[in-house]
């Protein structure tokens, strides 16, 4: 089952000819999650052939315009297209205040149920959990309250070795327990270890989205070992003072978090419009963390299932 991230926007506050404000779509087992929704997100969804109807949950990190100004247009288009499936929206309480104001002034009553989940800027709060996954908050430090999001698959039941099940004549009623890790004891008291009857269904996969933030040393502990880490990288390191003044990070700082956290891959984005050529920024990040990539529009990053 897929676990893949599509980048819709990679620019910071000012869009450029080739880069749009922040927006990403995460597909976990054919469930689609929109993360941030900068201006132009609708067009990017169309461009990369992601149907609006597939999106069931939207996460907004903070209320700077380049991270949410595309949201009202997207919600309105879903309404005009006759959507009736509910949408879950996660963000600061003021986000819902803005949406309610716009709906009231435009005299619009959405055809679908918009379920709002207020988010506080605390770390480790689970804001979505079901049998397949959990999403928890990551506390960031920006000029206004800003929250990152950690997506984690739940461990899947082990896969049965049907030939072994038949070999030991194991009744069907025991299958569920064996998939969940139980050993099997036959009528004679012989115990068949679970590892002989099953194989791993693959370790759970994970993605951490760290939106606008000044460098935080402790962030490495919160994203430790994730398969894929997105960390903003607005500036190259020669503009460290500028990054600190604006509560942003540099490519070196993003790579340092990735290295200290022991993640598998780093994606850097939220690039300042001053950078026409991003190759030097990527090269700079790779001096610290070689498995760094640019989170550019249209790029898809896949986390494959592993034993």
- Roughly what angle, to the nearest 10 degrees, separates helices 279-288 and 251-261? 30
pLDDT digits (tens, 9 = 90+) for 71-84: 999 999 999 999 99
Q: What number is the average pLDDT over the span 103-132?
A: 96
Judge whether residue 157 has pLDDT over 80: no
Alpha carbon separation from 39 to 9, 53, 68, 117 (Å, rounded) = 9, 19, 7, 22
Q: What is the pLDDT of residues 219-276, one digit of tens each?
A: 999 999 999 999 999 999 999 999 999 999 999 999 999 999 999 999 999 999 999 9
Q: Is 186 a known active-site residue?
A: no
Nearest to 42 by CA among 84, 78, 66, 79: 78
What is the CATH code of the structural domain delimited by 3-156+202-302?
Answer: 3.60.15.10
Q: What is the pTM of this model?
A: 0.90
User: Which three-class secondary structure state does DSSP give residue 21?
Assistant: strand
**Token duo for residue 112:** 């679908």
Any residues with CB less than 8 A from the CB of 29 and at least 6 apart, and which? 1, 2, 3, 132, 133, 153
pLDDT of residue 184: 84
Catalytic residue among 66, 132, 241, 277: 66
**CATH 3.60.15.10 residue window(s) in the chain:** 3-156+202-302
- Spatial contact of 290 and 282, defined as CB atoms under 8 Å apart: no
CA distance 118 to 57: 13
């Amino acid at each position: 089952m897929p676990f893949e991230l599509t980048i819709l926007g990679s620019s910071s506050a000012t869009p450029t000819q080739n880069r749009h404000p922040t927006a990403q779509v995460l597909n976990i087992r054919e469930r689609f999650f929109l993360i941030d929704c900068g201006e132009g997100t609708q067009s990017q969804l169309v461009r990369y052939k992601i149907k609006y109807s597939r999106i069931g949950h939207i996460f907004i990190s903070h209320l700077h315009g380049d991270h949410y100004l595309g949201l009202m247009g997207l919600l309105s288009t879903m309404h005009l297209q006759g959507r009736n499936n509910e949408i879950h929206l996660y963000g600061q309480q003021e986000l819902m205040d803005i949406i309610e104001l716009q709906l009231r002034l435009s005299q619009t009553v959405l055809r679908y149920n918009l379920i709002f989940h207020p988010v506080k800027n605390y770390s480790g709060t689970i804001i979505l959990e079901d049998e397949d996954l959990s999403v928890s908050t990551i506390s960031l430090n920006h000029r206004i309250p800003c929250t990152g999001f950690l997506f984690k698959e739940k461990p899947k039941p082990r896969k049965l070795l049907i030939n072994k099940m038949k070999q030991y004549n194991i009744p069907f009623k025991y299958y569920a327990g064996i998939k969940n890790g139980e050993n099997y004891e036959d009528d004679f008291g012989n115990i068949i270890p679970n590892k002989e009857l099953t194989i791993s269904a693959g370790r759970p996969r994970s993605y951490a989205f760290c939106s606008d933030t000044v460098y935080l040393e402790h962030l490495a502990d919160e994203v430790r070992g994730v398969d894929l880490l997105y960390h903003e990288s607005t500036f190259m390191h020669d503009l460290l003072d500028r990054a600190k003044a604006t509560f942003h990070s540099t490519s070196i700082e993003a790579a340092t978090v990735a290295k200290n956290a022991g993640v598998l891959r780093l994606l850097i984005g939220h690039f300042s419009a001053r950078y026409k050529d991003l190759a030097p920024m990527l090269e700079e990040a790779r001096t610290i963390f070689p498995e760094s990539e640019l989170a550019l529009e249209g790029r898809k990053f896949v986390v494959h299932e592993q034993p």
